[in-house]
Amino acid sequence: MDIFINILLLIVGMILLVKGADFFVDGASDIAKKLGIPSLIIGLTLVSIGTSLPEASVSINAAITNSSDLSFGNVVGSNIFNSLFIIGICSIILPTLVSKDIMRFDIPILFVVMAVLALFSYIITPFSIDRWEAAILFVLFVSYIALAIFRALKQRRTDLALESEQPKEENKKERKTWLSIIFTVLGLAGVVGGGILTVDAAKELALEFGMSELLVGLTIVAVGTSLPELVTSLVASKKGENDIAVGNVIGSNIFNIIFILGFSGMINPLSLNHNSYIDLIFMVVAIILIFIFAFKKAKVNRIEGAILIIIYILYLTYTILRDTGVLVI
């Protein structure tokens, strides 16, 4: 009976994810246009923060219970999944455009954030993140949000200036603001709730079928907490909102490191596994690949998307073999 209940919950969770993402992207895009805020900024802030709430919940709860490996691993594992699998699958479905703003600002910011994380984790305080280091990460989060708001205001002034020089078009039928807000709130609730429900149900099903908790953690929990990002980016790509699709992934990666690890580390200093540096290297390599692919043509094509997915499968295989003792590196 428990198996059938969990299958039902899994289906309900997936439906909430898909429809929630649909509502959320629609509502967020409408609000962005009404306020004159670029879709890119919405993707980098509101969407990325909202879809990262499952990771935040897992990591912060892990920090409270002093489970440092889970807290750190969830963030790094989710970032690898975001960069390799989500960008990969979106690019296979439809070549993913990467805006100049993301190339000039957000990917370099992500590189800086990852460098700071590596400095804290393996050089200054080897294999740990102290409270003061976590506090610095949190300050970086506040600074990043402030920068995003500044960029939004600057872009808004530019857009208003361009609109004043162009002939006005006939007013098209637009969704009312209050309805857009309801769409956004309901969509966010569906995405986050669906992600949590899907992870919990899938975990229970895996245990019912005899999988180890370690294997469940490496696959279902790590991937499951990133399902909101996956579905939101897929829906955004389908709707032609590439700035939201890519901005969501890059913004989520930044948010995961500076907010989730920052907040978690302030609750309890994080002790890291001695193999975790390899995972961090994979995380950095994933972003380098995206940057290289998009450097000249400002997009990731289908072949490059397939390469990203293959690398993710190889990474997942390596991780499972490493944690089952087959590989010692």
Highest average pLDDT, of 108-112, 230-234, 273-277, 321-325, comes from 108-112
* 210-234 confidence digits (pLDDT tens): 665 556 665 777 777 777 778 778 8
For residue 171 the two structure tokens come to 């007013």
Distance CA(278)–CA(228), nearest Å, equals 26
pLDDT at site 307 = 95
* 228-260 confidence digits (pLDDT tens): 778 778 887 777 776 667 777 888 899 889 999
* 214-233 core/surface letters (b: 16 or more CB in 10 A; e: else): eebbbbbbbbbbbbbbbbbb
Percent of the chain exceeding pLDDT 70 equals: 83
The conformation of residue 326, written as its DSSP 8-state character, comes to: S
- The total number of residues shown for the chain amounts to 329
Place of tokens 């989710």: 78
* 114-137 confidence digits (pLDDT tens): 999 999 999 999 999 999 999 999
φ/ψ of 60, rounded to 5, equals: -70, -40
Amino acid at 113: V
pLDDT band with cut points at 50, 70 and 90 for residue 16: confident
pLDDT at site 113 = 95
Distance CA(47)–CA(179), nearest Å, equals 18
What is the mean pLDDT of the segment spanning 43-53? 67
Q: What is the pTM of this model?
A: 0.77
DSSP 89-108: HHHHHS-EE--HHIIIIIHH
pLDDT at site 46 = 67
More confident residue, 168 or 20: 20
* 292-309 confidence digits (pLDDT tens): 998 878 888 999 999 999
Where helices occur in 86-176 by DSSP H, the ranges are 87-93, 100-101, 107-119, 131-165
* 144-171 confidence digits (pLDDT tens): 888 877 877 776 666 666 555 555 455 4
pLDDT at site 126 = 92
pLDDT at site 200 = 78
Distance CA(323)–CA(121), nearest Å, equals 21
Is the pLDDT at 143 greater than 60? The verdict is yes
* 76-126 confidence digits (pLDDT tens): 888 999 899 999 988 888 888 888 888 888 899 999 999 999 999 999 999
